[in-house]
Amino acid sequence: MPHPVQLGLQDATSPIMEELIAFHDHAFMIVSLISFLVLYVLSSVLTTKLTNTNITDAQEMETIWTILPAIILILIALPSLRILYLTDEINNPSFTIKSIGHQWYWTYEYTDYGGLIFNSYMLPPLFLNPGDLRLLEVDNRVVLPIEAPVRMMITSQDVLHSWTIPTLGLKTDAIPGRLNQTAFTAMRPGVYYGQCSEICGANHSFMPIVAELIPLKIFEMGPVFTL
Partner 1 sequence: MAEEDIETKIKNYKTAPFDSRFPNQNQTRNCWQNYLDFHRCQKAMTAKGGNVSVCEWYQRVYQSLCPTSWVTDWDEQRAEGTFPGKI
Site residues (vs partner 1, CB under 8 A):
90-96, 98, 100, 109, 111-112, 115, 117, 151, 153, 155, 157, 172, 177-182
Of the pair 58, 117, the CB lying nearest partner 1 is at 117
Q: Are 99 and 174 in contact (CB under 8 A)?
A: yes
Strands (E), the chain: 95-102, 105-110, 116-120, 142-145, 150-156, 161-165, 170-174, 180-184, 190-195, 208-214
Q: Is the dihedral of CA 90, 216, 95, 209 positive or negative?
A: negative
Q: Which residues, 6+ apart, have CB-to-CB distance to 182 below 8 Å?
A: 151, 152, 154, 170, 172
If the CB atoms of residues 13 and 172 are measured against partner 1, the closer one turns out to be 172
* CB 204, min distance to partner 1, A: 21
Of the pair 123, 152, the CB lying nearest partner 1 is at 152
- Tell me the closest approach of the beta carbon of residue 212 to partner 1, in angstroms: 20
Contact 212, 141 (CB under 8 A): yes
Closer Cβ to partner 1, 21 or 96, answer by number = 96
Q: Tell me the H-state helices in the chain.
A: 15-47, 59-87, 216-220
Q: How far is the CB of 191 from partner 1 (least distance, A)?
A: 24
Residue 160 makes CB contacts below 8 A (sequence gap 6+) with: 173, 174, 175, 176, 198, 199, 200
Q: Measured from the CB atom, is 62 or 220 closer to partner 1?
A: 220
User: Minimal distance in Å, beta carbon 145 to partner 1?
Assistant: 12
CB of 40 to partner 1, least distance (A): 44
User: What's the closest the beta carbon of residue 106 comes to partner 1, in angstroms?
Assistant: 12
Which are the contacts of 179, defined by CB distance < 8 A and separation ≥ 6? 153, 154, 155
Nearer to partner 1, 125 or 223 (CB): 223
